[in-house]
């Protein structure tokens, strides 16, 4: 008689005791000491020896599930690493573009000596007259300088 039919028959006769017995029979059995262990356990609870597929074929589905979980974890980690690398590359690209843009703005602006107020239209960093470091004009100062040049030209 198949075990399922026997369990149904016994359940109708004995009740809940059969359910706990079938749960007990589903637990993997140690090949060495013959005790039943927890379903997810890989080691025998009484003798401590490893429960392997060779010694206990009931564990094959547990090992397969663990392998699938490990593969999925590795794939997830690789995807996260790739996303992080792409994000870092994008940030680096944006930062470089911003740096280039700010350099262009600085180079296009008029440089002026803060001490002797001499303006320099070259790309020199220091004033030729007093030697102090030149600074870029603010947009409002640039407008004032343009007005000054326009007046001189008339």
Top-confidence residue, 51 or 128: 128
Rounded distance, CA 152 to CA 82, Å?
60
User: If we measure between CA atoms, which residue out of 17, 66, 48, 26 comes closest to residue 36?
Assistant: 26
- Residue 153: alpha-carbon gap to chain centroid: 61
The tokens 């002026």 sit on which residue? 112
pLDDT at 18 over 50: no
> Is 8's pLDDT higher than 50?
yes
pTM: 0.36
Domain regions of the chain by residue span: 3-93, 109-153
Query: Would you place residue 121 in the very low, low, confident or very high pLDDT band (cuts 50, 70, 90)?
Result: low
């Amino acid at each position: 008689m198949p075990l399922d039919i026997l369990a149904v028959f016994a359940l109708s006769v004995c009740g809940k005791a059969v359910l706990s017995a079938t749960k007990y029979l589903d637990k993997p059995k140690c090949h060495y000491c013959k005790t039943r262990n927890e379903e997810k356990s890989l080691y025998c609870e009484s003798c401590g020896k490893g429960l392997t597929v060779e010694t206990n074929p009931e564990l094959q589905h547990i090992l397969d599930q663990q392998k699938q979980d490990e593969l999925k974890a590795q794939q997830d980690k690789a995807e996260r690493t790739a996303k992080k690398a792409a994000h870092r590359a994008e940030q680096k690209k944006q930062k470089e573009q911003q740096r280039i843009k700010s350099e262009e703005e600085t180079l296009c602006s008029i440089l002026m000596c803060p001490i002797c107020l001499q303006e320099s239209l070259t790309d020199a960093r220091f004033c030729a007259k007093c030697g102090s470091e030149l600074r870029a004009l603010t947009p409002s100062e640039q407008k004032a300088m343009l007005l000054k040049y326009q007046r001189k030209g008339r």
